[in-house]
Protein backbone atom coordinates (compact mmCIF):
# COMPACT_ATOMS: atom_id res chain seq x y z
CA UNK A 1 0.00 0.00 0.00
CA UNK A 2 1.24 3.45 -0.89
CA UNK A 3 1.39 6.24 1.69
CA UNK A 4 -0.76 9.32 1.07
CA UNK A 5 2.35 11.52 0.96
CA UNK A 6 4.05 9.38 -1.71
CA UNK A 7 0.77 9.09 -3.62
CA UNK A 8 0.33 12.88 -3.60
CA UNK A 9 3.87 13.48 -4.88
CA UNK A 10 3.56 10.79 -7.58
CA UNK A 11 0.34 12.41 -8.77
CA UNK A 12 2.15 15.74 -9.03
CA UNK A 13 4.77 13.99 -11.13
CA UNK A 14 2.17 12.43 -13.44
CA UNK A 15 0.87 15.91 -14.19
CA UNK A 16 4.40 17.30 -14.56
CA UNK A 17 5.20 14.59 -17.11
CA UNK A 18 2.08 15.41 -19.10
CA UNK A 19 3.08 19.10 -19.03
CA UNK A 20 6.50 18.07 -20.36
CA UNK A 21 4.76 16.21 -23.18
CA UNK A 22 2.72 19.33 -24.01
CA UNK A 23 5.84 21.48 -23.97
CA UNK A 24 7.74 19.19 -26.33
CA UNK A 25 4.77 18.89 -28.67
CA UNK A 26 4.61 22.70 -28.77
CA UNK A 27 8.32 22.83 -29.54
CA UNK A 28 7.82 20.24 -32.30
CA UNK A 29 5.09 22.40 -33.83
CA UNK A 30 7.37 25.47 -33.78
CA UNK A 31 10.15 23.49 -35.47
CA UNK A 32 7.74 22.30 -38.14
CA UNK A 33 6.67 25.86 -38.89
CA UNK A 34 10.35 26.76 -39.36
CA UNK A 35 10.81 23.79 -41.73
CA UNK A 36 13.16 22.09 -39.27
CA UNK A 37 11.54 18.71 -39.68
CA UNK A 38 14.38 16.78 -38.07
CA UNK A 39 14.24 18.89 -34.92
CA UNK A 40 10.44 18.58 -35.00
CA UNK A 41 10.91 14.81 -35.07
CA UNK A 42 13.36 14.98 -32.14
CA UNK A 43 10.83 16.94 -30.08
CA UNK A 44 7.99 14.65 -31.11
CA UNK A 45 10.00 11.69 -29.80
CA UNK A 46 10.47 13.66 -26.55
CA UNK A 47 6.69 14.13 -26.42
CA UNK A 48 6.19 10.37 -26.78
CA UNK A 49 8.77 9.63 -24.09
CA UNK A 50 7.21 12.05 -21.61
CA UNK A 51 3.76 10.58 -22.23
CA UNK A 52 5.20 7.11 -21.60
CA UNK A 53 6.80 8.36 -18.38
CA UNK A 54 3.48 9.79 -17.19
CA UNK A 55 1.78 6.48 -17.89
CA UNK A 56 4.54 4.58 -16.07
CA UNK A 57 3.87 6.70 -12.97
CA UNK A 58 0.11 6.30 -13.50
CA UNK A 59 0.34 2.52 -13.63
CA UNK A 60 2.62 2.42 -10.58
CA UNK A 61 0.21 4.46 -8.44
CA UNK A 62 -2.64 2.12 -9.37
CA UNK A 63 -0.52 -1.00 -8.86
CA UNK A 64 0.30 0.20 -5.33
CA UNK A 65 -3.38 0.73 -4.50
CA UNK A 66 -3.40 4.50 -4.90
CA UNK A 67 -5.70 6.86 -6.75
CA UNK A 68 -4.55 8.78 -9.81
CA UNK A 69 -5.61 12.42 -9.77
CA UNK A 70 -5.34 14.52 -12.90
CA UNK A 71 -4.96 18.27 -12.60
CA UNK A 72 -5.32 20.91 -15.30
CA UNK A 73 -2.22 21.16 -17.45
CA UNK A 74 -0.90 24.65 -18.11
CA UNK A 75 -0.57 25.79 -21.69
CA UNK A 76 3.06 25.68 -22.81
CA UNK A 77 4.94 28.44 -24.55
CA UNK A 78 4.37 28.41 -28.33
CA UNK A 79 7.10 30.61 -29.78
CA UNK A 80 10.88 30.87 -29.55
CA UNK A 81 13.38 33.14 -31.26
CA UNK A 82 15.54 30.28 -32.58
CA UNK A 83 16.51 26.63 -32.21
CA UNK A 84 19.24 27.43 -29.69
CA UNK A 85 16.66 29.03 -27.42
CA UNK A 86 14.48 25.93 -27.72
CA UNK A 87 17.30 23.62 -26.65
CA UNK A 88 18.42 26.00 -23.90
CA UNK A 89 14.88 25.90 -22.52
CA UNK A 90 14.76 22.14 -23.00
CA UNK A 91 17.89 21.73 -20.87
CA UNK A 92 16.48 24.05 -18.22
CA UNK A 93 13.25 22.06 -18.23
CA UNK A 94 15.08 18.73 -17.92
CA UNK A 95 17.07 20.15 -14.99
CA UNK A 96 13.72 21.04 -13.39
CA UNK A 97 12.38 17.51 -13.98
CA UNK A 98 15.55 16.09 -12.42
CA UNK A 99 14.90 18.20 -9.32
CA UNK A 100 11.32 16.90 -9.20
CA UNK A 101 12.51 13.29 -9.44
CA UNK A 102 15.14 13.90 -6.75
CA UNK A 103 12.44 15.37 -4.50
CA UNK A 104 10.27 12.31 -5.13
CA UNK A 105 13.18 10.07 -4.16
CA UNK A 106 13.66 12.09 -0.95
CA UNK A 107 9.96 11.69 -0.10
CA UNK A 108 10.05 7.94 -0.78
CA UNK A 109 13.12 7.55 1.43
CA UNK A 110 11.64 9.67 4.24
CA UNK A 111 8.47 7.58 4.10
CA UNK A 112 10.58 4.38 4.10
CA UNK A 113 8.84 3.36 0.86
CA UNK A 114 11.56 1.13 -0.55
CA UNK A 115 9.39 -0.08 -3.42
CA UNK A 116 8.89 3.52 -4.55
CA UNK A 117 12.62 4.22 -4.14
CA UNK A 118 13.37 1.23 -6.35
CA UNK A 119 10.78 2.34 -8.91
CA UNK A 120 12.17 5.90 -8.94
CA UNK A 121 15.75 4.75 -9.54
CA UNK A 122 14.84 4.14 -13.20
CA UNK A 123 13.78 7.79 -13.50
CA UNK A 124 16.97 9.00 -11.78
CA UNK A 125 18.98 7.16 -14.43
CA UNK A 126 16.68 8.37 -17.21
CA UNK A 127 17.25 11.99 -16.20
CA UNK A 128 21.02 11.57 -16.43
CA UNK A 129 20.49 10.37 -20.01
CA UNK A 130 17.98 13.12 -20.82
CA UNK A 131 20.27 15.91 -19.62
CA UNK A 132 23.27 14.45 -21.45
CA UNK A 133 21.34 14.14 -24.74
CA UNK A 134 19.98 17.67 -24.61
CA UNK A 135 23.38 19.08 -23.61
CA UNK A 136 24.98 17.33 -26.59
CA UNK A 137 22.51 18.79 -29.08
CA UNK A 138 22.71 22.24 -27.48
CA UNK A 139 26.52 22.27 -27.62
CA UNK A 140 26.44 21.29 -31.31
CA UNK A 141 23.94 24.05 -32.03
CA UNK A 142 26.15 26.58 -30.26
CA UNK A 143 29.18 25.42 -32.29
CA UNK A 144 27.35 26.24 -35.51
CA UNK A 145 25.60 29.30 -34.09
CA UNK A 146 22.29 27.61 -34.96
CA UNK A 147 22.64 28.62 -38.60
CA UNK A 148 23.68 27.73 -42.10
CA UNK A 149 24.30 24.47 -43.86
CA UNK A 150 25.56 22.88 -40.64
CA UNK A 151 22.11 23.47 -39.12
CA UNK A 152 20.53 21.69 -42.07
CA UNK A 153 22.94 18.77 -41.65
CA UNK A 154 22.13 18.56 -37.93
CA UNK A 155 18.42 18.78 -38.76
CA UNK A 156 18.79 15.72 -41.01
CA UNK A 157 20.58 13.89 -38.21
CA UNK A 158 17.73 14.69 -35.80
CA UNK A 159 15.33 13.03 -38.25
CA UNK A 160 16.92 9.65 -37.42
CA UNK A 161 15.72 9.60 -33.80
CA UNK A 162 12.94 7.13 -33.11
CA UNK A 163 10.72 6.48 -30.11
CA UNK A 164 11.46 3.23 -28.31
CA UNK A 165 8.44 2.19 -26.25
CA UNK A 166 9.01 1.27 -22.63
CA UNK A 167 8.98 -2.43 -21.87
CA UNK A 168 8.52 -4.39 -18.68
CA UNK A 169 12.33 -4.58 -18.47
CA UNK A 170 12.63 -0.80 -18.19
The class of domain 4-70+79-158 in CATH terms is mainly alpha
The pLDDT of 62-78, averaged and rounded, is 97
- pTM comes to 0.95
Positive or negative, the CA dihedral 62, 68, 74, 75 is positive
CA 10 to chain centre: 15
pLDDT in tens, 2-41: 999 999 999 999 999 999 999 999 999 999 999 999 999 9
pLDDT in tens, 116-165: 999 999 999 999 999 999 999 999 999 999 999 999 999 999 999 999 99
Calculate the CA dihedral of residues 52, 119, 122, 49 and round it to 10 degrees: 10
Rounded CA-CA distance 97/141 in Å is: 22
Amino acid sequence: MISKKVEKELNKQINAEFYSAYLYLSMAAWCQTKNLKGFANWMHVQYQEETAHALKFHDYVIERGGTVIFDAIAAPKISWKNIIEIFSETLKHENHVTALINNLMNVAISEKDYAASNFLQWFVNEQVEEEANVTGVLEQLKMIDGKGSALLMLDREMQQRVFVPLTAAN
